[in-house]
Amino acid sequence: MKKLIILIICCIGVLGLHAQQIDTISVNSPSMGKNIKNVVILPQGYNAETKYPVLYLLHGYGGNHQKWLSIKPELPSLASRYDMIIVCPDGATSWYWDSPVNQALRYDTY
């Protein structure tokens, strides 16, 4: 079964079909001096030359960049249905604001 799934994935790539994509990327934050993980969900048929609306989903306190996928596993199909990109950044335990005392927590600037 595993080999079949791998074969199907390879065939999709070879045939040029554009399935929904879910990737975790690291984005450098110069304001905090570190990389921040983000889940990025691209719609089916994504084309780099096309402009898409982007929905940023921010997790709650104590969550991480993967939290929204566990809350709403149908996010990839929603990205395709509404032809948009979904980004889920990791805000750690910051509430997405810039700390006035800790330069390592400047998530609003990021």
Domains and CATH numbers, the chain: 19-110 (3.40.50.1820)
Q: What is the pLDDT of residue 19?
A: 66
Tens digits of residue pLDDT in 55-95: 999 998 889 899 999 999 999 999 999 999 999 999 988 88
Mean pLDDT of the chain: 85
Going by C-alpha positions, the residue among 39, 29, 33, 103 that lies closest to residue 66 is: 39
Q: What is the pLDDT of residue 44?
A: 96
Q: What is the pLDDT of residue 36?
A: 95
